[in-house]
Structure 1
Amino acid sequence: MTTFQSIVIAIIEGITEFLPVSSTGHMIIASSLLGIAEDDFTKLFEVAIQLGAIVSVVILYWKRFFPLNRWAFYIKLIVAVIPALLLGFLFSDKIDELLESPTTVAVALLLGGIVLLFIDRLFTTPAIEEEQGISYPKAFITGIWQCLAMIPGVSRSAASIIGGMQQKMTRNLAAEFSFFLAIPTMAAATGYKLLKTFKTHPEILKDSHNLMLLALGNVIAFVVAMLAIKFFIGYIQKYGFKLFGWYRIIIGAVLLVLIYKGVL
């Protein structure tokens, strides 16, 4: 992976991580077009730079995370992340196989886009406007919805936001809870990937060039993700999810054509 390639992928991660368009799917397609999708470091890089995006949430919502005596808030996040931790551990090899499939990404983007076109009509009577109104069962069910994102192209953000809205959260609260839930989810995924890489390909993490690219990628993902979050929250409050639905449908259709033509 070159420095230019790492910058491109990190920008894509920062823009798409918290939007309901699938950051993993976009990075898989980008790395395929760049010709580095099969590289073991690329697979690590695409997961590890999520740490930068995680930090952006903590910084933007600093007052919501601290002081640390908000124990109920943290327990809700722990409860919500349990399904992803269990399924991720049990099916990690299968998930890795799916991550190498552009076709899976294209189909998931297309179908998810259709869902987003109608999501605002499906959940029209939200009853929970504040985080304090989210019960532990509702947090857990939202976490189950998040597990759909183990299929690349589904979007962790989209799955957890839809799950939150299905549990009667407002669009804004569902999006914010999705951001909060990303922190333990992505921290666990990144830690597991780093540990797995250290065991199977330790030379990757001993390469100074690779470490430099990981640092650069996290910084870029952090900055870009902060801008993307601010845009997303403001946009969905006014306009909802239809734009993202059409975007996913168009991108999914284009990708299927490229796959059929042999470009991907």
Structure 2
Amino acid sequence: MPLFLVAIILGIVEGVTEFLPVSSTGHLILANALLGFDPETWKVFNVVIQLGAMLAVVVLYWRTFLAVITGLASRQPGAWRFVRNLLVAFLPAAIIGLVLHKQVEALLGSAHVVAWALIVGGIAILVVERNAGEQSIAGVAEIPLTKAVSIGFIQCLAMIPGVSRSGATILGAVSLGVERRTAAEFSFFLALPTMLGATVLELYKNRHDMGPIGLDLIGIGFVVSFIVATVVIKAFLAIVTKRGFGPFAWYRIVAGIAALAWLGIR
């Protein structure tokens, strides 16, 4: 298969899965395995194209970011709480990620870990959806400081491939009383510093050897993931508002079982 076509496929996978609670990293690992490519070869590509999906958040929520910037300039409390919550939720992943970076990297090539994490994560979503209490906190700026810190630590579970960063963030927020749409949007915004940090670290580590995947293929994946993510974010919020996270839980369980079956017979 031509490499440019692989780049397009992986870009689509990234754009579709980055903001859904189904694990984009896990799906990229499974896609590499399904296509017969070495995950190590495409590791930098898989990390960098996530910035394309991140750009979709900036474009779709530019009014929110502009309001925060102008609010910071005029010292509005809501704008400062918005930034505070993102920072304190980002720090646990940044610190723990640096400390456990080698251990996390060791898991990135394991499709079996991804498959099991998809199943367990799907069950966890169903449990949280069934047992979550009242979700009355609306608005990222209205999340209390202690809950923002807790969500940040829960996000660290996503260092296990297949767990899903957005899924861990959203479920953590919902379990702490944050309403669904706010939880989803908080996961979108929190992805920006988290993924930017991961990308900068990966590029720095591989600055002398980017591997056989050049900037042209990375550019293709970046653009494709941006376009697809822009469409998916809108659809995701509509589904979550009306039907909750149950459909994604069942998808994870079915996909995980299918992946285990395929890995067992290939």
TM-score range, shorter chain: over 0.9
Structure-2 separation of matches of 1:231 and 1:181 = 19
Aligned to 1:10: 11
Q: Helix, strand or coil: the match of 2:227?
A: helix
Is 1:252 paired with 2:253? no
Which segments of 5 or more consecutive residues in structure 2 lack a partner in the other structure? Answer: 73-78
Which residue among 200, 216, 222 is the counterpart of 1:218? 222
Which residue among 220, 236, 239 is the counterpart of 1:235? 239
TM-score, scaled relative to structure 2: 0.92
* Number of positions where the alignment pairs a residue of Structure 1 with one of Structure 2: 256
- Indicate conservation of the 8 Å contact 2:85/2:141, yes or no: no
Q: Deviations over 1:66-113 (max 9, x none)?
A: 141123312211111001001110111111110111110000000111
Aligned to 2:75: none
- Indicate conservation of the 8 Å contact 1:118/1:242, yes or no: no
Structure-2 separation of matches of 1:142 and 1:66 = 25
Structure-2 separation of matches of 1:232 and 1:119 = 18
Structure-2 separation of matches of 1:154 and 1:38 = 18
- Indicate conservation of the 8 Å contact 2:120/2:253, yes or no: yes
Aligned to 1:101: 110
Is 1:196 paired with 2:202? no
Within-5 A mapping of 1:61-210? 61-67=61-67, 68=69, 69=72, 70-198=79-207, 202-204=208-210, 210=214
* Alignment root-mean-square deviation, CA: 1.4
Structure-2 separation of matches of 1:131 and 1:234 = 18
Structure-1 separation of matches of 2:218 and 2:43 = 12
Measure how far apart 1:220 and its partner are: 0.8
Q: Deviations over 1:29-85 (max 9, x none)?
A: 001111222443x00000000111111111111111114112331221111100100
Structure-1 separation of matches of 2:151 and 2:40 = 34
Amino acid at match of 2:174: M
Measure how far apart 1:257 and its partner are: 1.1
TM-score, scaled relative to structure 1: 0.93
Aligned to 1:25: 26
Runs of at least 4 residues off by over 6 Å = none
Structure-1 separation of matches of 2:36 and 2:43 = 13
Structure-2 separation of matches of 1:36 and 1:63 = 40
